[in-house]
Structure 1
Amino acid sequence: MSNPDRSYYTALGGHPPQTQLMTDRAVFTEAYAVIPKGVMRDIVTSALPFWDATRAWVLARPLSGFAETFAQSILEIGPGGGSDRPEPDAGVQGVLFVVGGSVTVTLGGRDHDLATGGYAYLPAGSGWTIRNQGDRPATLHWVRKRYEPVEGLDHPEAFFTSDDAVAPTPMPGTEGRWATTRFVDPADLRHDMHVNIVTFEPGASIPFAETHVMEHGLYVLEGKAVYRLNRDWVEVEAGDFMWLRAFCPQACYAGGPGRFRYLLYKDVNRHPALPGGML
């Protein structure tokens, strides 16, 4: 069941009038990109092979010298739309997070209904399908990463849950003002990516410049904040996407008046790949 009080940003598409100023917050640098909600228009959508009644806003894809481990898209699936061949690469795993409407994901002959706030982890090669069986469009995030198997570790299994079914874990020393909804146990080394939800209460912050090897995709689901990205402070709000390469310094202040929440991708639990390989 979805929480009727839970809402996520979904107002995408359309075009502004010719009278609108072109000045915007969009920026692409050597360390990060900000794709604000105002640039996610009809003209930048993609059609995907074997998807019906669906359009996609591709937010991130591997770029040499930038973020190289993942792709992330927003999908808008019309009534009756979806795909019987959604994932074109048997080596790629995925996470779905529904921000509007509902979809049915079929895996192993079993249907799983995902309402707003629904979350699915779909292992590489699992052969899932997806349909919007409702009477209005469904909007969801699709995060994809090539799975990196490790000898001696089983592959992770599929699971289906929701934002409301997982209790956020407070960050130490924050009295719950900064918390992370972790859909995967951090100690489960079978997983090589985490897609979590981070929540800040008004006025809460990341009080230091995180600088680390993990790449990030951050889609703002709710609220607003001032985010430190590399050397810059930028304002972000619900509907904006931040794309960070490894080692990009990051911190933030939640601006209020409500909570600040974002969907976060990061690569985890694997040795850095080194050139050359074994002799």
Structure 2
Amino acid sequence: MAKPTYYAPTGGHPGQDQLLTDRAMFTDAYAVIPKGTMRDIVTSNLPFWEGTRLWVLSRPLSGFAETFSQYIMEVQPGGGSEHPETDAQAQGVLFVVEGELTLTLGGTEHVLDTGGYAYIPSGSDWTLHNRAEKTARFHWVRKAYEAVPGLPAPDPIITNERDVSPVEMPGTEGRWSTTRFTDPQDLRHDMHVNIVNFEPGGVIPFAETHVMEHGLYVLEGKAVYRLNQDWVEVEAGDYMWLRAFCPQACYAGGPGRFRYLLYKDVNRHMPLTLSKR
């Protein structure tokens, strides 16, 4: 596998000579947030974070996707937080797409460079700082942990994509593979954040239709993605947000690899009342 590359937004603002027409769309079944919408005017800030701004890609919406939120965080040199998470129920995944960050988790310091991955269990004591000389950007996926009596809480995971071997999908001759940071058989986990990889010409050859909600951020390449009844062109920097049971498939049509960071909820009974979510 060649050395991974990742797209990260830098903000800015389009000139007055730009056309308004874009690929952004929001439907009952899915949303597409193209990279061109991630401008300075739509950034947010968070309490207890210094030298940091973020783009909110998704958040729980009643009647749409309800299990998770996803941010792209941008941390300037010297920035970061001593109290990054204010929700004791929230577990998180960090994935670094640019720069270097110092994560202190349970009193142990870890340096996460590009491709770095961290799973942080709910209720953890952690801090995050940019002690390098360049701006760092990372994805932060958050979900309220659904504890199960008799199952212990998951352990932290600190790794890097370069240290995880992709698993080929059966019968695809290596054209479709998944970089799994969490063991799919570990029922302590109620969410997975993986990287899905396609070689040029690789396909999902059927319309996946399932209960799992998805956030898909395109790290590299381009493709045509089938979302519900629509074929949508996507490229590095675009984000797709899918509610449960939205049919999905894709064709990697570019000259290079097509890869995306994928969130999905897993391994739990379906809540029978909305108040239990």
TM-score, normalised with respect to structure 2: 0.98
Letter in 1 for 2:169: M
Do the aligned partners of 1:12 and 1:37 also contact (CA within 8 Å) in 2? Answer: no
CA contact (8 A) 2:225 2:250 kept: yes
Partner of 1:195: 193
Cα deviations by residue, 1:122-178 (Å, 9 ceiling, x for unpaired): 000011100000011000000000000001101001110011110000011101110
Question: Hey, what does 1:159 align to over in structure 2?
Answer: 157
Q: Secondary structure at the match of 2:249?
A: strand
1:27 corresponds to: 25
Query: What SS does the corresponding residue of 1:191 show, helix, strand or coil?
Result: coil
Match of 1:96 in 2: 94
CA distance in 2, matches of 1:277, 1:35: 29
Greater Cα shift, 267-276 or 231-240: 267-276
- Distance, in Å, in 1 between the alignment partners of 2:275 and 2:148 is 15
The change in CA–CA distance for 1:106 and 1:205 in structure 2 (over 3 A counts) is: same
Distance in 2 (CA, whole Å) between partners of 1:276 and 1:247 is 17
Match of 1:58 among 42, 56, 59: 56
Residue type of the partner of 2:78?
G
1: distance between equivalents of 2:28 and 2:155?
36
Q: Alpha-carbon deviation of 1:109?
A: 1.2
Provide the secondary structure at the position in 2 that maps to 1:126.
coil
1:201–1:256 contact (8 Å) kept in structure 2: no
Q: What is the correspondence of 1:216-227 to structure 2 with a 5 Å cutoff?
A: 216-227=214-225
Query: After alignment, is 130-139 or 4-13 more displaced?
Result: 4-13
Residue identity in the other structure for 1:132: N
Matches within 5 A, 1:38-187: 38-187=36-185
Q: CA deviation at 1:255?
A: 1.1
Is 1:8 aligned with 2:6? yes
Instruction: Point out where structure 2 has 5 or more consecutive residues left out of the alignment.
Output: none
Q: In the alignment, is the contact (CA less than 8 A) between 2:9 and 2:38 conserved in 1?
A: no
Q: CA deviation at 1:43?
A: 0.2
Superposed CA RMSD: 1.5
Structure 1 residues 73 and 204: CA distance shift in structure 2, 3 A: same
1:223-251 Cα deviation digits (max 9, x unpaired): 00000000100000000000000000000
CA distance in 2, matches of 1:209, 1:201: 19
2:251 maps to: 253
- TM superposition shift of 1:4: 9.5
List gaps (5 residues or longer) in structure 1: none
Q: Over residues 80-132 of structure 1, what are the superposed CA-to-partner deviations in whole Å (9 max), with x where a residue is unaligned?
A: 10001101101110000000000000011110000000000000001110000
Q: Distance between the aligned counterparts of 1:162 and 1:186, measured in 2?
A: 18
1:213, 1:228 → 2: CA distance?
17
After TM superposition, give the deviation of residue 276 of structure 1 in Å: 9.0
Q: 1:16-58: CA deviations, max 9, x gaps?
A: 1100000000000000000000000000000100000000000
The list of structure 1 runs, each at least 4 consecutive aligned residues, that deviate by more than 4 angstroms after superposition, is none
- Give the Cα–Cα distance (whole angstroms) in 2 for the partners of residues 258 and 122 of structure 1: 32
Q: Deviations over 1:199-222 (max 9, x none)?
A: 000000000000000000000000
Aligned length: 276
Which SS does the other structure have where 2:41 is aligned? helix
Alignment-mate amino acid for residue 111 of structure 2: D
Residues 51 and 82 of structure 1 are in contact (CA less than 8 Å); yes or no, is this contact kept in structure 2?
Answer: yes
What is the rounded CA distance, in whole Å, between the counterparts of 2:74 and 2:232 in structure 1?
A: 28
Partner residue in 2 for 1:275: 273
Amino acid corresponding to residue 152 of structure 2 in structure 1: D
Identity of aligned pairs, percent? 71
